[in-house]
């Protein structure tokens, strides 16, 4: 399809911009502080000459307007949720409400020091307490820590809890079972907790193969790490049997909550046998992803694991005031300094309060409806490797397009020309050439119809003019980047021309 026939996007002039170091010139005035109101000191005298450094070689010297233009121009090369549909499967790129950015910056919150006296931090602690209560109700779990900084950090924390619990029972066990559809962080986290991982092949329906599990699940297995709905968007319909089997043999069920957006208000992990669960506030609860973080990965557990949660914990004193309790003899300790990515907790609570029970439920329904609508619109144009019913996302494969040499990565690049941020390409591993698409509840029918049009059109292009797709994107300021070269001889930082 020709440029001008693309409905959603058009090309427009944008600014080039060098590296900030290349803008620098010696002696340009930059940011200044108020005059010093105490006597100046000679660092060489105070610290010893050997301990003092001179000006930093190559460090930027630019004026304020150059900083502003530099980062403003850079920003225009990006695509965000505010730009349009951001289809990364498993990432839940939903709308980030603007009021959340306001409340996280309020004086009294944004400038609160983590170690200031508890009497002067009651508001901050109340927010943590209220968020904890909401998340426990939503998940059906008994206790929670807000300390982990992201999903993978939550996995590490959760598995440490599993291990501590099992140790307290006398045997930490040696292995963790992980379905082959799982995200890479799952095995990586298990390994960091000293567990060997064993992969469980999925069955024809894309879910855990009970027979397989039966064979693998024994007294040596600490836990089954399950993503539910799994990374195909399919709910583990045998979850009851799975949980029963794992529990019967003394193991625990860990749930990766990355896909909670399919369940909020509809189904609670605490009600279907999960012992440990991590949430991604930067997915399900709308905290902005920031171009790669910060996130927040609270871990919720059942009563029996509560004693092992990280310190400190927020507790209520007899007089109703809140305090931080460090006295938890069985605790695994700390997984992070202070209390977690607090600013993200504020935003997540704002999101929950604004939605309320009705809005949260409606969001889940819309997310699932959007995914179903999309799946319907693409069936027949792309291969659907698993026909099981899906919830918040659906995973196609490039099988048909591959016949013309067009792979999922090419389709993704071409989708950029159509004005969308592509879906997830390299995951889940059980689907060769996967197109993993998660629209979330934030997309309108109009945006989805444009997306369906676009992907149908690309499917046609793949047959009729594969070259067009293979050389995509054609509309971006830089074309396809040579990632091989980047990895072969890595250039990981700027160096002065003179090679300083």
Partner 1 sequence: MRYLPKSPEERRAMLAAVGCDSIEQLFAGIPEPARLRRELNLEPGWSEPEVLRYFLERAAENARGFTSFLGAGAYDHFRPAVVDALISRSEFYTAYTPYQPEISQGTLQAIFEFQTLICQLTGMEVANASLYDGSTALPEAVMMAVRATGRHRAAVARSVHPEYRQVLDTYLRHQGMTIEEMPYGEDGRVAEGALAKAKGDDLAAVVVQSPNFFGVIEDVTAAAALAHESGALLIVMIAEPASLGIVRPPAEADIVAGEAQSLGVPLSFGGPYVGFLATREKFVRNMPGRLVGQTTDANGERGFCLTLATREQHIRREKATSNICTNQALCALMVTIFLSTYGKQGLRELALQNLAKAQYAAERFERAGASRRFSGPFFNEVVIRGVAQRGTAERLAAEKLIGGLELGRYYPELAGDVLLCFTETAPRDRIDRLVEIYSS
Q: Which is nearer to partner 1, 98 or 463 (CB)?
A: 98
- Write out the two tokens for 17: 């911009």
Q: Which is nearer to ligand PLP, 179 or 270 (CB)?
A: 179
- Write out the two tokens for 286: 């709308």
Among its own copies, partner 1, ligand PLP, none, the one that 90 touches (CB under a kind-dependent 5 to 8 A) is ligand PLP
Min separation Cβ 227 and partner 1, Å: 14
Considering only CA atoms, which of 108, 65, 180, 221 is closest in space to residue 428? 180
CB-based contact 282:294 (threshold 8 Å): yes
Min separation Cβ 378 and partner 1, Å: 12
CB-based contact 384:396 (threshold 8 Å): yes
| 251 φ, ψ (degrees, to nearest 5) | -95, 175
Min separation Cβ 106 and its own copies, Å: 11
Considering only CA atoms, which of 479, 481, 430, 419 is closest in space to residue 455? 419
Position of tokens 């045998």? 238
Q: Of residues 98, 488, 489, 493, which one binds its own copies by CB under 8 A?
A: 98
498 contacts partner 1 (rule: CB under 8 A): no
Window 157-176: residues binding ligand PLP (CB under 6 A): none
DSSP label at 379? Answer: B
CA separation for the pair 110, 500 (Å, rounded): 39
2 contacts partner 1 (rule: CB under 8 A): no
| Per-residue mark of binding to its own copies, 361-400 (x: CB under 8 A) | ----------------------------------------
Among ligand PLP, partner 1, its own copies, none, the one that 486 touches (CB under a kind-dependent 5 to 8 A) is partner 1
CA separation for the pair 329, 311 (Å, rounded): 10
DSSP label at 33? Answer: P
| Per-residue mark of binding to partner 1, 212-251 (x: CB under 8 A) | -----------------x----xx-x-xx-----------
Q: Of residues 173, 183, 313, 413, which one binds ligand PLP by CB under 6 A?
A: 183
Please enumerate in sequence order all residues whose Cβ is within 8 A of that of 483, keeping only pairs 6 or more positions apart, or say none. none
11 contacts partner 1 (rule: CB under 8 A): no
| Stretch binding ligand PLP (CB under 6 A), from 144-152, 370-378, 445-453, 479-487 | 144-152
Inter-residue long-range contacts of 53-60, CB under 8 Å, 24+ positions, other chains counted:
57/496, 57/500, 58/21, 58/24, 58/494, 58/495, 58/496, 58/500, 59/24, 60/20, 60/21, 60/23, 60/24
3 contacts partner 1 (rule: CB under 8 A): no
Please enumerate in sequence order all residues whose Cβ is within 8 A of that of 432, keeping only pairs 6 or more positions apart, or say none. 397, 399
| Per-residue mark of binding to its own copies, 472-491 (x: CB under 8 A) | -x-xxx--------------
Min separation Cβ 415 and partner 1, Å: 9
147 contacts ligand PLP (rule: CB under 6 A): no
Window 271-310: residues binding partner 1 (CB under 8 A): 271-272, 282, 288-295, 310
Q: Which is nearer to its own copies, 36 or 45 (CB)?
A: 36
**What value, to the nearest 5°, has the Cα angle with vertex 256 and ends 171 and 272?**
80
Min separation Cβ 1 and partner 1, Å: 16
Half-sphere exposure of 39 (CA within 13 A, CB side): 4
Please enumerate in sequence order all residues whose Cβ is within 8 A of that of 497, keeping only pairs 6 or more positions apart, or say none. none
Among its own copies, ligand PLP, partner 1, none, the one that 8 touches (CB under a kind-dependent 5 to 8 A) is its own copies
Q: Which is nearer to partner 1, 229 or 433 (CB)?
A: 229
Q: Of residues 233, 295, 343, 419, which one binds ligand PLP by CB under 6 A?
A: 295
**DSSP string for residues in 311-339:** SPEEEE-TTS-EEEE---TT----SSSTT
Task: Kindly report the number of other CB atoms within 10 A of residue 20's CB atom.
Answer: 17
Q: Is 208 helix (H, G, I), strand (E, B) or coil?
A: strand
| Per-residue mark of binding to partner 1, 129-168 (x: CB under 8 A) | -----x--xx-x--------xxxxx-xx---x--x-----
Q: Which is nearer to its own copies, 83 or 116 (CB)?
A: 83
CB-based contact 166:222 (threshold 8 Å): yes
Q: Of residues 147, 157, 181, 227, which one binds ligand PLP by CB under 6 A?
A: 227
Window 39-78: residues binding partner 1 (CB under 8 A): 39-41, 43, 46-48, 50-53, 55-68, 70-72, 74-78
> Which H or E run contains 253?
strand 252-256
By CB under 8 A, name the binding residues for its own copies.
7-16, 23, 63-66, 68-69, 72-73, 76-77, 82-84, 95, 97-98, 416-417, 419, 442, 444, 446, 473, 475-477
């Amino acid at each position: 399809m020709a440029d001008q026939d693309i409905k959603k996007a058009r090309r427009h002039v944008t600014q080039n911009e060098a590296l900030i170091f290349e803008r620098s010139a010696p002696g340009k005035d930059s940011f200044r502080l108020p005059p010093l109101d105490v006597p100046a000191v000679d660092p060489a005298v105070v610290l010893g000459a050997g301990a003092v450094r001179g000006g930093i070689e190559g460090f930027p010297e630019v004026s304020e307007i150059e900083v502003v233009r530099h980062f403003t121009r850079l920003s225009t090369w990006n695509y965000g949720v505010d730009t349009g549909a951001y289809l990364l499967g498993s990432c839940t790129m939903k709308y980030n409400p603007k009021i959340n950015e306001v409340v996280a910056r309020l004086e009294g919150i944004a400038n609160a020091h983590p170690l200031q006296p508890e009497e002067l931090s009651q508001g901050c602690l109340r927010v943590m307490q209220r968020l904890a209560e909401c998340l426990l109700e939503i998940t059906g779990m008994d206790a929670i820590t807000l300390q982990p900084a992201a999903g993978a950090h939550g996995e590490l924390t959760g598995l440490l809890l599993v291990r501590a619990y099992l140790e307290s029972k006398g045997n930490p066990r040696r292995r963790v079972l992980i379905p082959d559809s799982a995200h890479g962080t799952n095995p990586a986290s298990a390994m960091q907790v000293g567990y060997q991982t064993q992969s469980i092949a999925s069955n024809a329906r894309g879910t855990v193969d009970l027979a397989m599990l039966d064979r693998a699940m024994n007294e040596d297995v600490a836990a089954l790490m399950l993503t539910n709905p799994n990374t195909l968007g399919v709910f583990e319909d045998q979850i009851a049997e799975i949980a029963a089997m794992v529990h019967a043999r003394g193991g625990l069920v860990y749930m990766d909550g990355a896909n909670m957006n399919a369940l909020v208000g509809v189904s609670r992990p605490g009600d279907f046998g999960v012992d440990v669960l991590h949430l991604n506030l930067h997915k399900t609860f709308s905290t902005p992803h920031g171009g790669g973080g910060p996130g927040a990965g609270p871990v919720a557990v059942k009563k029996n694991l509560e004693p092992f949660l990280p310190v400190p914990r927020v507790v209520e004193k007899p007089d109703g005031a809140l305090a931080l309790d460090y006295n938890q003899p069985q605790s695994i300790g700390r997984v992070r300094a202070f209390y977690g990515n607090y600013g993200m907790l504020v935003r997540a609570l704002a999101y929950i309060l604004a939605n309320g029970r009705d809005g949260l439920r409606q969001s889940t329904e819309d997310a699932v409806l959007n995914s179903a609508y999309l799946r319907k619109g693409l069936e027949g144009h792309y291969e659907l490797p698993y026909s099981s019913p899906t919830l918040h996302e659906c995973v196609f494969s490039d099988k048909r397009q591959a016949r013309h040499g067009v792979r999922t990565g090419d389709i993704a690049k071409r989708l950029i020309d159509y004005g969308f941020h592509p879906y997830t390409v390299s995951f889940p591993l059980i689907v060769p050439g996967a197109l993993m698409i998660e629209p979330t509840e934030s997309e309108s029918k109009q945006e989805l119809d444009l997306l369906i049009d676009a992907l149908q059109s690309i499917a046609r292009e793949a047959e009729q003019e594969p070259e067009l797709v293979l050389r995509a994107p054609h509309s971006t300021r830089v074309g396809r980047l040579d990632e091989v070269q980047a990895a072969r001889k890595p250039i990981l930082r700027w160096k002065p021309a003179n090679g300083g």
